[in-house]
Amino acid sequence: MSTTLQMRDVESTLETLLDLSKKYAHGAEASAHVHGWHSANTRYARNEITSSGDTESMQIRLELAFGKRRAESSTNQTDAASLRALVERTAAMAHLAPEDPELMAVLGPQTYAPAPVLFDDATNAFGAAGRLTAIEGSVAAAEGRSLDGAGFYEHWSSLHMRGTSAGLRAKRSETYAELTATARTKDGTGSGWGGAASHKADEIVGSAIGRTAAEKGATSKGPRRLEPGKYTVILEPAAVSELLQSLFWSLDARKADEGRSYFTKAGGGTRVGETLFPKSITLTSDPADPLAPGAVFDDDGVPLAPTAWIDQGTLKNLRYSRYWAAKQGKAATGFHDTLRLHGGDAKSPADLLTGVKRGLLITRFWYTRWLDPRAMLITGLTRDGVFLVENGAIVGPVNNFRFNESPANMLKNIDAMTAATVRTPGEGGHWHVPTIRTNDFNLASISDAV
């Protein structure tokens, strides 16, 4: 079922809300955010569908400020009475709220770069039958190797609009489709994974994703036991994305300035300008990046300009909120949703095996958690396929591990990457990363999980 939501409904709701704010919250600065969406999903496990559903809704969020007193409130009810109640409730809350010295005035009209087209009509019209077809393809791949397939297909259509009493108006629309699949051997000793994300559902090919998961699942059967230690590892894109999440989060200027970050300079200040990584490392956010397109404004309405966080190994930028930028005399960067780790020279993932005397190929990670933000140290586990590599070739599957490692070290120790980057599921499909090879990766203990 395609959504019945239209951008004009989102726009009119926003304008009504701002009008009501002017009328029932006299003197307040108002900032409104309306997000309408239709989402649908199908889950399967043990090669059959286990649940499936859809929903359509609108979230209406209002922030009101009287001087430095601010509050925000939200509802999913769109009738005029509910919108008025939202305004009155938010105003009452703001009047009661203590002053927030960090509160910034709402933004006025902004100039945004042309937005990449991320709304696909065919995906908007996608439904249960389309999901079923993709899942049938994935399940067939699992059954073809006598495996148990489990997976999840989700797609949504999303319409955002943001506006303020100072005249800001910003809107964007986006569709998204994602299928992830796991295939496990009947004896429970092997498990593989595959997944893809795109704003176009027709780029999500269930049979191909299922084949990737099934191939990994079948070949990971009966892993041999390998001791923990420091290994050269080849990390597939899903694993790279997982570790980059912690690093991306750490690129916060305020945390660095306050001494609470890996990017804090000894003695105070930040490490911007320092060459922290090899020259091959470039990490950027660019809404217009054809490989990893995304939003041209953030949740606050701040324009998102192309930003190099790390340029050829040198830390170039940290993320600045409007408040912290004003306080530090910098420009606000906004909160990007895109990220691209630029690739290297390797023509294919298989090329990364060349020259590896003894190492591991890792499919993905799971349950990563912080251990020490100052050292950017995190823990987590490998999952769905770890393979021993000896003398440039895959020898066979090995057990899973818990790692205790720093994503910064992961980048520091990279010695090869694929030229091609891929869009990884999660993060709204806005992240593009290569397969990488990195050294001295600390696998701290064995996990018996499969």
**Binders in 123-162 for other proteins, by CB under 8 A:** 128-129, 132, 135-136, 139, 148, 150-152, 154
CA-nearest of 271, 268, 253 to 408 is 271
Give dist(CA 71, CA 52) in Å, integer.
37
Among 70, 199, 336, 340, binds other proteins (CB under 8 A): 70
Q: Is 1 in the site for other proteins (CB under 8 A)?
A: yes
Comparison of 154 and 415: residue with beta carbon closer to other proteins: 154
Among 97, 226, 288, 305, binds other proteins (CB under 8 A): 97
Comparison of 128 and 350: residue with beta carbon closer to other proteins: 128
Edge-first strand order for the sheet with 431-433 is 314-315, 307-311, 283-285, 339-341, 431-433, 422-423
Q: Which of residues 242-271 bind other proteins (CB under 8 A)?
A: 258-260, 264, 266-267
Query: What 3-state DSSP class applies to 114?
Result: coil
Q: Is 57 in the site for other proteins (CB under 8 A)?
A: yes
Residues in the chain: 450
The stretch near other proteins (CB under 8 A) out of 12-20, 92-100, 110-118, 344-352 is 92-100
Comparison of 178 and 286: residue with beta carbon closer to other proteins: 178
**270 touches 398 (CB < 8 A):** no
Q: Which of residues 366-395 bind other proteins (CB under 8 A)?
A: 366-372, 374-375, 377, 379-381, 383
List % helix, strand, coil for the chain (3-state, nearest 5): 25, 40, 35
The stretch near other proteins (CB under 8 A) out of 20-28, 41-49, 110-118, 198-206 is 41-49
User: How many residues touch other proteins (CB under 8 A)?
Assistant: 98
Q: x/- string (CB under 8 A) for other proteins, residues 332-361?
A: ------------------------------
**214 touches 208 (CB < 8 A):** no
CA-nearest of 345, 337, 358, 373 to 278 is 345
Smallest separation (angstroms) from other proteins to the CB of 288: 29
166-183 burial code (b ≥16 CB/10 A, e <16): eebebbbbbbbbbbbbbb
Query: What 3-state DSSP class applies to 427?
Result: helix
Give dist(CA 105, CA 96) in Å, integer.
19
Q: Is 413 in the site for other proteins (CB under 8 A)?
A: no
Q: Which of residues 174-213 bind other proteins (CB under 8 A)?
A: 180-182, 184, 188, 191, 193
